[in-house]
């Protein structure tokens, strides 16, 4: 419907000159038009402009399912002072309880949310600096993301938001604007990303328990029971691996992403993080199911009333095995059909001890009666290449919250990188190199972003350069090719499951244990917690600490390279994938924590058929019949 109406006003809002300028920017010249024809097209454009102005005059509409959940107390969010947040795991603190919960499934449980999840009243900061938002202030949603509503309505207490990596694009915890996030087991090590803070907060109670009563540590907080992370390339599974917790990337589309800042629609996942497989199953039951808004969900996504009762299914399976006398260290794995992915042990950077620990964990399945065999999917090695190329052309649009062609919920008011604000107290004479927030960049926010991020998170600056380079050299063809071959990759895994007669795939999460935070990255205290700015809601920046990096881009990238080689592919294919702790390994870059004998946790990744998360839960439950890895230190 190109002409729903034509303007009847004698005072057009669009002149031929303005229309010509806009057309030129799209590579179209209006010089071939006669003056009357140019006036006619300006008239057409004025009619379209009237439609635009009509829409802009409407009040914002929030889908009823995203309205803020009424809470028992007014919502207050505090930025914790450094002494209350030594590992930088918290972004903001709060205490939210629904005034009228609809179930008690999560009653008494505490939850943290990744700082890219919309919570009414909380800063949606996506781990970056406020100057990249209009007015130099973080977006504060008036809505609750679907998963937030469901968690509150299940009776949980939301304790705050967990620090996330800068724009959620880093697999290690080194890039958040407020500083690197320390690993709960050893604060000088990274905790994995980009759901960094959530990973640390969930693992803290295990660390405190392991230290024993009266033994001081550097954790400084009690942590939480559960968390909701985000995973575009491994960002739930990597913190679980590095921190010794349980992290699930569900089947694509099982859990609604509505109200959450994304990276790229085709790879966006949100999922549970916990200290036990049981807690993962319960939280998944709460948050899973169609919400009628998220375009990532389709007719294959179950309605909420049809979401499986995962924990009940696992318990029924366990009882059946007990009835057969199979629930012990020699028979609990009977009936499990598991494939060991050959190519996952051939990726670059896989540490020998990491390979040994995960293979020993897989051997436990054999010892418990499971059918275990090596399988091969050669395209697994191509997956990181496909991930890199397919995301480049649309990543920036998604980060900037530009509306998708698919009908969804473009979060109102969330406009990162939309304009370049003036920053209080900054010089107007400094050069761009001296001060990226100076007037030299006032009209070029993308240049400001590049200068700000190039030494801190080269994954982002590299992506900013790759997109125009790819368009200049190859046009849309390379993106088309990537999408075609993603279907091929998906089919390769689906066919492998079918032809090999297996239900589960096991492989290392990553090639190494949690790395040491580089010496060039430090956390600078902006406010010491005694002044008013830390807790002042009118403070334009609300930062008590900020990151300071002297690393070169090459040095910064060193810790990031290769960490997602075994995880990113399943974001493309959509298969459910979970990391659970399977053992311990000695770091190669310095001593580990004394309390664990110098070792750090190792996760094993279990991948299932689509929509069969329950098979993963059964397999992990069976493995732990002979003991949890986190209890073996």
Q: Where are the chain's structural domains?
A: 16-56, 66-302+514-621
Structure tokens belonging to residue 433: 């190199």
Secondary structure E strands in 244-361: 246-249, 269-274, 337-341
Instruction: Indicate if the pLDDT at residue 432 is higher than 80.
Output: no
Share of the chain above pLDDT 70, in %: 90
pLDDT band at 7 (very low <50, low <70, confident <90, very high): low
Least confident stretch, 223-237, 360-374, 441-455, 575-589:
441-455
| Interval 294-349: pLDDT, tens | 999 999 999 999 999 999 999 999 999 999 999 999 999 999 999 999 999 999 99
pLDDT of residue 4: 66
pLDDT at 1: 54
Give the lowest-confidence range in 34-43, 400-409, 473-482, 522-531.
Answer: 522-531
Residue 27: partners with Cβ closer than 8 Å, 6 or more residues away: none
* Predicted local distance difference test score (pLDDT) of residue 220: 58
Work out the mean pLDDT of the chain and round it to a whole number. Answer: 91
From CA 202, how far away is CA 150, in angstroms rounded?
20
Tens-digit pLDDT profile for residues 43-78: 999 999 988 999 999 988 888 888 999 999 999 999
Of the listed ranges 1-10, 519-528, 574-583, the least confidently predicted one is 1-10
Task: Residue 608: count other Cβ atoms within 10 Å of its Cβ.
Answer: 23
Question: Is the per-residue pLDDT at 394 higher than 90?
Answer: no
Round to whole Å and give the CA distance between 568 and 126.
20
Q: Which two tokens stand for residue 193?
A: 């990303």
Q: Residue 241's pLDDT is what?
A: 99
CB atoms within 10 A of CB 365: 22
On whether the CB atoms of residues 199 and 217 are closer than 8 A, the answer is no
Fold classification of 66-302+514-621 (topology level): Amidase signature (AS) enzymes (3.90.1300)
Give the length of the chain: 633
pLDDT for the residue 436: 42
The set of residues, in sequence order, having a beta carbon less than 8 Å from that of 164 and lying 6+ positions away, is 91, 114, 115, 116, 126, 127, 176, 193, 194, 195, 196, 197, 198, 230
Model confidence pTM above 0.75: yes
* Averaged pLDDT, 140-145: 96
Q: How many CB atoms lie within 10 A of CB 419?
A: 13
């Amino acid at each position: 419907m190109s002409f729903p109406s034509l303007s009847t006003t004698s005072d057009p809002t669009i002149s031929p000159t303005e229309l010509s300028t806009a057309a030129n920017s799209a590579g179209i010249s209006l010089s071939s038009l006669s003056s009357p024809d140019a006036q006619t097209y300006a008239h057409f454009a004025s009619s379209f402009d009237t439609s635009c102005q009509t829409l802009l005059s409407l009040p914002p509409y929030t889908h009823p399912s995203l309205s803020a959940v009424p809470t028992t107390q007014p919502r207050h969010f505090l930025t914790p002072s450094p002494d209350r947040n030594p590992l930088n795991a918290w972004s903001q603190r709060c205490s939210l309880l629904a005034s009228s919960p609809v179930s008690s499934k999560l009653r008494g449980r505490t939850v943290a949310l990744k700082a890219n999840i919309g919570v009414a009243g909380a800063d949606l900061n996506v781990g970056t600096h406020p100057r990249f938002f209009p007015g130099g202030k973080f977006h504060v949603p008036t809505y609750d993301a679907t998963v937030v509503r469901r968690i509150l309505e299940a009776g949980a207490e939301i304790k705050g938001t967990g620090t996330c990596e800068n724009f959620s694009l880093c697999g290690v915890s080194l890039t958040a604007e407020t500083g690197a996030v320390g690993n709960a087991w050893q604060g000088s090590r990274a905790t994995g990303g980009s759901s960094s803070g959530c990973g640390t907060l969930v693992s803290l109670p295990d660390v405190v328990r392991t230290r024993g009563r009266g033994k001081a540590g550097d954790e400084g907080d009690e942590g939480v029971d559960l968390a909701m992370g985000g995973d575009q390339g491994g960002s739930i599974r990597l913190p679980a691996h590095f921190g010794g917790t349980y992290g699930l990337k569900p089947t694509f589309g099982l859990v609604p992403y509505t109200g959450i800042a994304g990276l790229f629609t085709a790879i966006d996942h949100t999922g549970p993080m916990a200290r036990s497989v049981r807690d993962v199953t319960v939280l998944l039951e709460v948050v899973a199911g169609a919400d009628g808004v998220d375009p990532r969900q389709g007719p294959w996504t179950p309605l909420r009333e049809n979401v499986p009762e995962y924990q009940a299914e696992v318990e029924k399976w366990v009882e059946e095995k007990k009835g057969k006398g199979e629930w012990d260290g020699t028979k609990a794995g009977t009936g499990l059909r598991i494939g060991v992915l050959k190519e996952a042990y051939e990726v670059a950077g896989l540490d020998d001890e990491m390979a040994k620990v995960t293979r020993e964990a897989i051997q436990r399945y054999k010892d418990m009666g499971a059918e275990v065999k090596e399988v091969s999917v050669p395209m697994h090695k191509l997956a990181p290449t496909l991930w890199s190329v397919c995301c480049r052309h649309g990543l920036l649009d998604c980060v900037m919250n530009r509306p998708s062609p698919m009908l969804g919920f473009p979060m109102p008011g969330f406009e990162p990188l939309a304009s370049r604000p003036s920053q209080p107290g900054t010089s107007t004479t400094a050069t761009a190199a001296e001060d990226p927030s100076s007037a030299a960049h006032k009209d070029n926010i993308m240049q400001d972003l590049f200068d700000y991020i190039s030494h801190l998170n080269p994954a982002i600056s590299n992506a900013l350069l790759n997109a125009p380079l790819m368009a200049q050299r190859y046009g849309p063809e390379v993106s088309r090719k990537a999408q075609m071959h993603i279907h091929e990759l998906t089919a390769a895994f689906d066919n492998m499951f079918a032809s090999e007669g297996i239900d589960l795939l096991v492989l290392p999460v990553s090639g190494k244990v949690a790395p040491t935070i580089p010496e060039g990255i430090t956390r600078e205290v902006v406010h010491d917690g005694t002044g008013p700015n830390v807790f002042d809601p009118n403070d334009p920046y609300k930062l008590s600490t900020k990151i300071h990096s002297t690393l070169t881009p090459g040095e910064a990238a060193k810790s990031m390279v290769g960490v997602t080689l075994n995880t990113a592919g399943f974001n493309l294919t959509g298969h459910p994938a979970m990391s659970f702790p399977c053992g311990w390994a000695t770091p190669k870059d310095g001593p580990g924590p004394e309390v664990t004998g110098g070792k750090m946790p190792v996760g094993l990744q279990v991948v299932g058929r689509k929509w069969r998360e329950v098979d993963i839960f059964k397999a992990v439950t069976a493995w732990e019949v002979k003991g949890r890895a986190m209890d073996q230190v």
